[in-house]
A and B are shown apart, each in its own frame.
Chain A
């Protein structure tokens, strides 16, 4: 080649090498550029089941990465080395069966190596014989309900069924088995740090193992498209150590006390009139004609009003930290941060405080009570009710006055 051609070709190859270097740096930045402390990071397991998955997936990702790098290197090599530099027409090779067969067997071997631990992990994650606690989980548009049947859950005695929603409270280091179902469409239960997801299908019950290593709050989302507010159907799992869990159970089963606050007393009446058709609150009694409380408990009948036939039980609302499908906080930002950042040792005590008046985030709850469909897209206007066979999907706008909202909030604040 002449000097000019040599220079041109050198410049070209320098350019090519520079391009490769840039690509490599970009890849490095790219792959290291992950979010820190992403609450739903699938590579940061905090429970045994997620850890099993992680132990399986990390080697697979590494293997895939290695294969990818090899393939790209070969392609870059080929593209650089065999570009048209004016050479002769190349040899018209048709193939090399030995090489081909070898390169067919090689991926097969790698995949067998991946397949065997996969199968064993599948069966390990499906195991149910070592269950220590059962929680029934029901999805509906657009929230999750939990029902703890009578049992010994991780050593803690649950004497009566407990019904909560949004936050799945469970004892740590316990083999919990969730039994998932749905009241309407298919939803999916996913707490990434604790396990993969499982669909909640109406008419079926699907088991899902759940176990947390240490006390804390683990976030999740519904991950099967379920309509208008699929994006606002969230949940948390809360892990508590054995003592704290025992305390929690006791609190849940403790009978409700009569409201002491004047506003809350008015709130009780307002709640009974406006909300108790759908929302069950244990301890709320029917009203006598003279205004006093009878000894007949109010039983909510959401199946008359809601397509899913269910609405969140608010008996112990303020023992939870979120509401409306775990989408909004009952805690102020500051208190929430303190709770989420708490160390495992401090967490239980902080959580069991529930929502204190100092930590209470009133604004979101007020907005919700004022006009729920405006805050979270639902199918619950009067016109939409007609399209859904005369029932709501989600909570309707009750057109409450500010005073009524004040009263209800005061009443709810005492639901602990």
Chain B
């Protein structure tokens, strides 16, 4: 899309109208710059943050299902002691890939997708700062995820647990290519995360609507901003670790060779310096979503906005100082252990502040229990459980009993599933009408929610008991002899957990049923179904390509809410009165539409550059020739990208057929 010119007396485009397709004039035959706005090519070459956000979310949800199946297989194996559903080798791959998929291919990309879609809308921008880099990031993630999963078919997936401790990760102890696929795949997805982070930070810092100071930004945008800063500084550290691993395995470097004097703990330090900020990267976006959803469905502003912002920043900051709490049993020495124990307890404080703020947001409100709200409240409850169990392992002597047992598995699933995933689902239900113009069924939504809650608690609740009574993690079998006596022995609780996981799976399935049902039969949604508070709702369903016909000037936090409501003095005291509807605001937008809107144009180069990376990666594993070919594509794409203007010049566009030769392009 190049330049939108609006003749002054023409009424605004009707909502949802798809602009005309105009062919570019300069003919390089099939190599000419893509400009189509419909069809599959408009998705493959898009640089529109909304399309990309949607593709991120859909791909990530696909990987969620893959990771979920991996989990179901694990739980089926653990249904009873000494079970033989999965062999040790397959089981080890299964839990490694389950974790890797869920963390790197589901939670991170889906939150990136939601951030990509909604942050520009929330700050009143038309796109992100670097749209082609945005597209590049998406394709990197997708190709990296596919590349990583081809390992299943090419000799076996990585099987050394999701943090692939050295020296087990060396070629001697992990002879298949699984670990190579893992390290290279994560390098590729890491590039996606890094570019995404650079993009979103610049967008948020530089492209806010006039009047939107940092302390008037919606809280989701704030949390996303903190997360992107975490990514910018954490991804390079794991990049270093992955390079060292790759050099060791592929070229025989000595980094983790104990005979040469290496210290295996180097890997652990490098990994966890990334790994701890990583868990805040996973949870903070969901905290942001919930901080949006709760006020909307309580009809009150977020309680203590400033505190929530500062506690989010504090979590991001302190999160750098706690990494060795993953290493309490690794032989650090009492001084380090004591220091990290204290710093870990410290980080519980800003997290606790948020729980208080969310609860007090609901206090005195007018609570509407839509499905989005249910998931948000579910997050508060489940995250509290997960957070409290986290505090019990901040106490490092306790942690030496708890670490590497199912108690830890319980903790992180409560905070990741009950926390991050519930937040994501709240976001899905909340923002679905804006993205698709239809509302997900509330009835099916309630089935979705309750089955997921019951399933989740049945699956991960018993794991607290399993862990505290001695069942370690990452074990293909647990022996009958260690399960204890009585009806409620560890065999019983393992069975409960497995059955719970099947219920959880049905709950997730209900979401898919809801999506399918809504797509076929859902009623169209109004512009502002939830009577929401932030600017993304000041758009059509779905938003037009340029988002806002005119960029609003922001005066307050929850600007959209203040445009609709005014406080009016009545005899009974001040009352909040709705003075404008969403439709009226939208009409006002269109009536004052901007005359010159520059939108970035689609491009080939992001996907071409992205495809070069897995080709190079296959080359590193199998044949240097592939790496050279991939490198050539990389260089070619880099030059193509650099020489291409971000917005195609007007000379690329013919005037519309039958139209006047003036610049009366409806839009491109």
CA distance A368 to B324 in the complex (A): 40
CB of A146 within 8 A of chain B?
A: no
CB of A188 within 8 A of chain B?
A: yes
Q: Are B400 and A90 in contact (CB under 8 A)?
A: no
CB of A304 within 8 A of chain B?
A: no
CB of B359 within 8 A of chain A?
A: yes
Contacts of A50 in B (CB 8 A): 401
Question: A30-38, A160-168, A251-259, A294-302: which lies at the B interface?
Answer: A30-38
CA distance A389 to B403 in the complex (A): 33
Question: B280-288, B382-390, B501-509: which lies at the A interface?
Answer: B382-390
Nearest-Cβ distance from residue A339 to partner chain B, whole angstroms? 13
Q: Are A201 and B331 in contact (CB under 8 A)?
A: yes
CA distance A194 to B357 in the complex (A): 42
Jot down 26 A-B pairs with beta carbons below 8 A, ordered by A.
A30-B461, A38-B483, A39-B481, A60-B395, A65-B388, A82-B363, A83-B367, A89-B299, A90-B364, A92-B300, A93-B303, A94-B301, A95-B307, A95-B357, A111-B345, A122-B397, A123-B334, A126-B333, A190-B404, A196-B401, A201-B264, A201-B265, A203-B263, A224-B165, A225-B161, A228-B92
- Known: A53-B400, A108-B349; 7 extra A-B contacts, CB below 8 A, are A72-B384, A78-B367, A82-B362, A84-B369, A111-B349, A123-B338, A228-B92
A residues 30-87 near B (Cβ < 8 Å) are: 30, 33-43, 50, 52-53, 56-57, 60-61, 64-65, 67-68, 71-72, 74-75, 78-79, 82-84, 87
Q: Are A229 and B367 in contact (CB under 8 A)?
A: no
Q: Are A119 and B470 in contact (CB under 8 A)?
A: no
CA distance A204 to B330 in the complex (A): 10
Q: Are B305 and A95 in contact (CB under 8 A)?
A: yes
Q: Are A185 and B472 in contact (CB under 8 A)?
A: no
Q: Are B482 and A40 in contact (CB under 8 A)?
A: yes
CB of B175 within 8 A of chain A?
A: yes
CB of B402 within 8 A of chain A?
A: yes
Contacts of B265 in A (CB 8 A): 201, 204
CB 8 Å contact bits of B483-527 with A (1 = contact, 0 = none)? 111111110110000000000000000000000000000000000
Residue of B nearest to A42 (CB): B401
Contacts of A75 in B (CB 8 A): 359, 362, 377, 380-381
Residue of B nearest to A78 (CB): B362
CB of B576 within 8 A of chain A?
A: yes
Q: Are A93 and B300 in contact (CB under 8 A)?
A: yes
CA distance A241 to B305 in the complex (A): 63
Contacts of B474 in A (CB 8 A): 225, 230-231
Instruction: Decide: A33 near B488, CB < 8 A? Known: A53-B397, A196-B399.
Output: yes
Q: Could you say which of A36, A68, A188, A196 has the most chain B C-beta atoms within 10 Å of its C-beta?
A: A196
Pairs A-B, 5 closest by C-beta atoms? A40-B470, A196-B400, A35-B484, A38-B484, A231-B475
Q: Are A199 and B331 in contact (CB under 8 A)?
A: yes
Q: Are A39 and B484 in contact (CB under 8 A)?
A: yes
Instruction: Decide: A57 near B397, CB < 8 A? Known: A95-B307, A223-B404.
Output: yes
Q: Are A188 and B305 in contact (CB under 8 A)?
A: no
Indicate which residue in A118, A188, A203, A232 contacts B396 across the interface (CB closer than 8 Å).
A118
Contacts of B356 in A (CB 8 A): 100, 103
Contacts of B307 in A (CB 8 A): 95, 97, 100, 104
Q: Are B173 and A41 in contact (CB under 8 A)?
A: no
Q: Are B384 and A68 in contact (CB under 8 A)?
A: yes
Indicate which residue in A72, A118, A202, A221 contacts B264 across the interface (CB closer than 8 Å).
A202
CA distance A253 to B398 in the complex (A): 38
CA distance A41 to B211 in the complex (A): 59
B residues 16-46 near A (Cβ < 8 Å) are: none
CA distance A137 to B485 in the complex (A): 31
B residues 431-480 near A (Cβ < 8 Å) are: 461, 465, 468-472, 474-479
Q: Are B368 and A34 in contact (CB under 8 A)?
A: no
Chain B residues with CB under 8 Å of chain A are: 87-89, 92, 160-161, 165-168, 172-173, 175, 258, 261-265, 298-301, 303-307, 329-331, 333-334, 337-338, 341-342, 345-346, 348-349, 352-353, 355-357, 359-360, 362-369, 377, 380-381, 384-385, 388-389, 391-392, 394-405, 461, 465, 468-472, 474-479, 481-490, 492-493, 565, 575-576
Nearest-Cβ distance from residue B533 to partner chain A, whole angstroms? 10
CA distance A315 to B270 in the complex (A): 43
Residue of B nearest to A232 (CB): B477
CB of A312 within 8 A of chain B?
A: no
Contacts of A354 in B (CB 8 A): none
Indicate which residue in B329, B338, B357, B362 contacts A118 across the interface (CB closer than 8 Å).
B338
Residue of B nearest to A72 (CB): B381
Contacts of A223 in B (CB 8 A): 329, 403-405, 472
CA distance A222 to B474 in the complex (A): 11
Q: Are A203 and B258 in contact (CB under 8 A)?
A: yes
CA distance A60 to B363 in the complex (A): 29
Q: Are B468 and A90 in contact (CB under 8 A)?
A: no
CB 8 Å contact bits of A86-122 with B (1 = contact, 0 = none)? 0111111111110110011001100100110011011
Residue of A nearest to B407 (CB): A42
Nearest-Cβ distance from residue B101 to partner chain A, whole angstroms? 18
Indicate which residue in B87, B334, B392 contacts A64 across the interface (CB closer than 8 Å).
B392
Residue of B nearest to A329 (CB): B481
Contacts of A83 in B (CB 8 A): 367, 369
CA distance A65 to B329 in the complex (A): 25
CA distance A203 to B254 in the complex (A): 14
Q: Are A82 and B341 in contact (CB under 8 A)?
A: no
Q: Are A79 and B377 in contact (CB under 8 A)?
A: yes
CA distance A231 to B391 in the complex (A): 28
Q: Are B366 and A87 in contact (CB under 8 A)?
A: yes
Nearest-Cβ distance from residue B247 to partner chain A, whole angstroms? 19
Nearest-Cβ distance from residue A51 to partner chain B, whole angstroms? 11
Residue of A nearest to B476 (CB): A231
CA distance A188 to B304 in the complex (A): 45
Q: Are B329 and A90 in contact (CB under 8 A)?
A: no
CB of A307 within 8 A of chain B?
A: yes
CB of A239 within 8 A of chain B?
A: no
Nearest-Cβ distance from residue B158 to partner chain A, whole angstroms? 12
Contacts of B329 in A (CB 8 A): 188, 196-199, 223-224
CB of A215 within 8 A of chain B?
A: no
Nearest-Cβ distance from residue A336 to partner chain B, whole angstroms? 9
Indicate which residue in A56, A74, A88 contacts B359 across the interface (CB closer than 8 Å).
A74
CA distance A239 to B500 in the complex (A): 40
Contacts of A228 in B (CB 8 A): 88-89, 92
